[in-house]
Structure 1
Amino acid sequence: MLKLHFNNQYDFRRDASYAAVLGNDCLIRRLALEKRLKVHKGCVNTIAWNSSGEYILSGSDDLKLVVTNPFNGKVAARLPSGHKRNILQAKFLPVSGNRRLISSDMAGTVSYTQLERPQLYGKSLFNCHSRTVYQLQTIFGEPNLFFSSSEDGTVRWYDTRIKESCVEEDCSENVLLDLQFGVNSIDIDPIRSHYLATGTNDSTIRIFDRRMLSECYMRNVSVREYHVPRPANSTGLGLTSHITCLKYDSTGSKLLANVTTSQLIELDCWTDEVECFEEPPIVTAEEPRAPPDSRNMRVRMRGDWSDTGPSAVLDHEATDGRELSRSEQIFREMSTALTNLLRARAEAVYHADEEESSDSRNPDEQPAASGPVEPSSENAAGIQGGPTPSQQMSKCHGYAGHRNQRTAIKQCAYWGDELVVSGSDCGHIFLWRRDSGKLINIVEADRRVVNCVQPHPYHPLLASSGIDYDVKLWAPSLPEDDTEGKDALIAKVTERNKDILEGAGEVITLPPRFILPMIAAFARRRLTDPTEDG
């Protein structure tokens, strides 16, 4: 069957075998690498199947868009994108005959590519966003409409029948939402396409009704909100959890969220229930401020990937005999030095603040009660026939074991109706049974980080990509005898991920241009204030 499948002669749409494969744990545990598509010269940050599953579109740090037939490995098109910085997202527009593509990059540019118009390659650009555009979203059956979400806090909509480019920077014509917080992820309800879900870097998932465009834009009135709490090992620096991916299921009733510093969360969009397979400790708003645990504070230099991949190590850990490269040694030494400086400074600031607040506090003053914010009257009634507002998430984590800290484009997906799949900072693909949350398989798929996981629309075939310069295809073809020891491997990797998450705490990633000024600032402070430590 596998040979027929890879010759593209066996159509699982007309057979129950597709669901049978995904519903069989033994077959999913036999997932193995089938093919590598070496079509890029940089990290592959985005992959997407076309609607028929005949082609796969990929975008990379090499600024190229590539359309590949994964079954024979032939490149159908290699296109200049017009992007100036790393491509983060690329998709086919629906019902366009696989001839229209959209893509976005770290500079905030959105590109619209029409394969039948080569004279416009790299020229149909939208410069509306002012910061990184993380995700693009299309609507089923709509070849001209799509949406973008950006770090600048806006969600924008585009209609290529109106315009195919926009040179005006930070224009206001196509703003659908202005949320004031960076929007890392969006998704459209596949059944009720007027519902749009957003994940923002204030740790909040919101669902909006696009039929209320003017009201949403003016007051950002969401139909529903979910607030992701801070993890228990948070240092109190104010760092929040980001939602790197949102994905509706095929019915539009459930929403899967990949959250940094947390597990995968599955929300029920139509009731107040949340799938809860585990309930880890959570820091709530009612708890008093605690001194920062200096062990949970860490500075990392951008480009330092030592804590990723199957051989990940933290700064303070031994390398188990593995010899570090010169660049890894430099990154590690500088990260350690900067971390020590930050920890000492944070402790000093905390104690100074405590002394100041204790001196000014009224002994008769009672602390103000804190808790979840009540929904506004505009939200309270919700939308008739739709979800109701204001869900304060307290303990609602679902799929555990992976690690999502290092990249802002970590995907998750439903694989059929049976499985949940995600990439991880440990370089593995994770696959859970959807109904129980049981982790049934992990697959080593990258030397550093697996960012993208895209199930084929009809075949039991999974595409993945990450820091490696290729796209990998996976199918259940591993001999059954080779699955022995899988449970031990799962236990080892998940325990290691847990240890790294607990050891990493809250991490600040610094671009190289900030390193020397930061060291100089600390040095000047020590010279002007000899009593200061660190």
Structure 2
Amino acid sequence: MSGYDLFCKRVCADVNLVKRMGIYCEYEKHSGCVNSLHFNESGNLVASGSDDLQVVVYDWTKEKEVVKFLSNHSSNIFQTKFLPNSGDSHIVTSARDGQVRLAQLSSTGSCRSHKKLAQHKGPVHKISLFSDSPEELYSCGEDGNVFHIDLRLDKLASYVVSSFTVKHKSKKVGLNSVSSNPMNSVELCVVGRDPYVRIYDIRKVDTDNKEDNCMKRFRAEFVKSDYMHMTCAVYNHIGTEIVASYSNDDIYLFDTSHSNNASEIKRYTGHRNSATVKGVNFYGPECQYVVSGSDCSNVFIWDKQSTEVVNVMHGDDQGVVNVVEPHKHLPMLATSGLDNKVKLWMAHKKPQSLMANLPAIMKKNAKNRKSDREASLFDDGHLLWFLMQTLRRSHRESDDSSADSSDMMPPPDDDDDDDDDDNDVDEGGPYSRDVQCAAS
């Protein structure tokens, strides 16, 4: 390890610098909320994608826009990533329209070409790059499908090498997140519209989609309801841990070496994840911290081992921080949310910590989460069942009748194993409460 690498390792992990973070710079280049951020390999550029369908590449070291281009997506951009070893000239995007696209940039600061790599039948919130193959990536969609995409394939053929469908009790599970193991790219984890983190070996999946044959699946011990679901999960730098964020619940850390159906080893509390498909991440050269945005407009940083909050900072003017992206080798974070700004954070002579207000922030988040959780009980089929029973009750009362309780319709059968309908997707679809961002 070089002296520079050793310096960066020590600085990035220094809790005193983490506690002193403030906004180093910010840019306002979008006209909608910003759903995605990604640093290039050298770390001087950050790519952002927005509801305005634009992708902006910004050089924070010079505080200037490098390129801005229309993505050719027809709906909200959810992910933007630089392809490694491409000279920062190739950016992959995914969006609400279900497309995964590749943009090639010119040296003159414009977009030279676009092409569609894959098409899901639902929104695509996340894509994941291979650590050992710059031409390959995974995508996952609310259609329940995971695509393995290889850019080396003939452009006249499909770029999708293989695909599989995630199912639970024979029903498709709408997916929010996919992450490849940085030490073993054939292994990936996915999360979505049920309470499980699933780990797959891409070489061993059932491509006939007859059953869900994941290697392992994990579930938080305190999450009892099958209606709880996750918005994001990622591996640490060596693939030994996965951090996952539940909607209307906490963030949990899982040990990937543990057996099937194992529960968490750590739990991180205090934030609120309800209104959007919110990300979660590790921070530090050895993933010493866990970071996430929150529906209270703040950025939370927890010490991974102690699970204590070490910093909380105001990160969004519209009330929700969705994205917290760590720099690859510097003590820096990039954040974005419902406003149209991208903020870059570093240790600052004027720290912008809200730690003095942490007890009040956590108390308010807990109160609001309780309300969110109660409201979520009436999602999808249960909302329809609830409304129908209310109408029946209203009709009985207006007719002054006394119908027997046997007239009540049963609630939706969670164990319905009928898989004849291929469109039977346990993802929420158009009824999904989770949105990436408010309408802009």
Q: Shorter chain as normaliser: what TM range?
A: 0.7 to 0.9
Match of 2:275 among 377, 402, 406: 406
State the secondary structure of the residue aligned to 1:88. strand
Measure the CA separation in 2 of the matches of 1:119 and 1:474: 28
> Is the counterpart of residue 506 in structure 1 residue 374 in structure 2?
yes
Aligned position for 1:464:
335
On the 8 A contact 2:103/2:111 being kept in 1, the answer is no
In 1, distance between residues paired with 2:244 and 2:331? 23
The correspondence of residues 412-423 of structure 1 with structure 2, limited to 5 A, is 412-417=281-286, 418-423=288-293
Gaps of 5+ in 2: 402-440
Which amino acid in the other structure matches residue 27 of structure 2?
L
How many angstroms does 1:423 deviate by?
0.8
After TM superposition, give the deviation of residue 432 of structure 1 in Å: 1.0
Q: What amino acid is the match of 1:421?
A: V
Separation of aligned partners in 2, 1:532 and 1:428: 52
Taking the aligned partners of 2:322 and 2:257, their CA distance within structure 1 comes to 29
**How many angstroms apart in 2 are the aligned matches of 1:149 and 1:468?**
26
Kindly tell me: are residues 72 and 164 of structure 1, through their superposed partners in 2, closer, same or farther at Cα, counting changes over 3 Å? farther
- The separation in 2 between residues aligned to 1:203 and 1:498, in whole angstroms, is 20
For residues 59-88 of structure 1, what are the alpha-carbon distances to aligned partners after superposition, in whole Å with 9 as ceiling and x for unaligned? 000000111101222111111111111001
After superposition, residues 413-492 of structure 1 pair within 5 angstroms as: 413-417=282-286, 418-447=288-317, 448-479=319-350, 486-492=354-360
Where has structure 1 moved over 6 Å in runs of 4 or more? 117-120, 518-525
User: Which residue of structure 2 aligns with residue 205 of structure 1?
Assistant: 197
Residues 58 and 164 of structure 1: is their aligned pair in 2 closer, same or farther, counting only changes over 3 Å?
Answer: farther
Equivalence map 1:207-356=2 (5 Å): 207-214=199-206, 217-228=209-220, 231=223, 240-271=227-258
1:403 counterpart letter in structure 2: R
SS in 2 for 1:193: strand
Q: 1:184 & 1:456 partners in 2: Cα distance?
A: 23
SS in 1 for 2:9: helix
Q: Percent identity?
A: 27
Shift of the 127–270 alpha-carbon distance from structure 1 to 2, 3 Å rule, reads closer
1:430-455 CA-partner distances (Å, limit 9, x unpaired)? 11111211111100111211111111
- The alpha-carbon distance between structure 1 residues 532 and 210, as it changes in their structure 2 partners (threshold 3 A), is farther
Bigger shift: 86-95 or 241-250? Answer: 241-250
The TM-score normalised by the length of structure 1 is 0.66
Q: CA deviation at 1:532?
A: 8.6
Judged with a 3 Å threshold, the aligned counterparts in structure 2 of structure 1 residues 59 and 508 are, in CA distance, closer, same or farther, namely same
- Structure 1's 31 and 173: CA in aligned 2 closer, same or farther, altered over 3 A? closer
SS in 2 for 1:161: coil
CA contact (8 A) 1:263 1:397 kept: no
Match of 2:131 in 1: 140
- 5+ residue gaps, structure 1: 1-11, 272-387
- Residues 526, 157 of structure 1: CA spacing in aligned structure 2 closer, same or farther, 3 A cutoff? same
After superposition, what is the alpha-carbon deviation per residue over 1:157-205, rounded to whole angstroms, capped at 9, x for unaligned? 11122255889xxx99742344310111111111122211111312111
Partner SS, residue 147 of structure 2: strand
Instruction: Give the 5 Å matches for 1:365-404.
Output: 388=259, 390-393=260-263, 397-404=266-273
1 or 2, which has the higher helix percentage? 1
Matched residue, 1:367: none
Residues in 1 aligned to 2:291 and 2:106: alpha-carbon distance in whole angstroms:
35
Alpha carbons of 1:172 and 1:219: their partners in 2 closer, same or farther (altered >3 Å)?
A: farther
- 1:102 and 2:92 aligned: yes
Q: For residues 250 and 138 of structure 2, what CA distance do their matches in structure 1 show?
A: 27
TM-score by length of 2: 0.79
Bigger shift: 207-216 or 50-59? 207-216
Structure-2 change in CA distance of 1:71 and 1:119 (3 Å): closer
Greater share of residues in strand = 2
Indicate conservation of the 8 Å contact 2:148/2:160, yes or no: no
The separation in 2 between residues aligned to 1:97 and 1:213, in whole angstroms, is: 34
CA contact (8 A) 1:231 1:261 kept: no
Q: Which one of the candidate residues 178, 181, 184 is aligned to 2:173?
A: 181
Moved more, 491-500 or 518-527: 518-527
Cα offset, 1:497, TM superposition: 1.0
Tell me if 1:70 matches 2:53: no
One-letter code of the match for 2:53?
A: L
SS at match of 2:274: coil
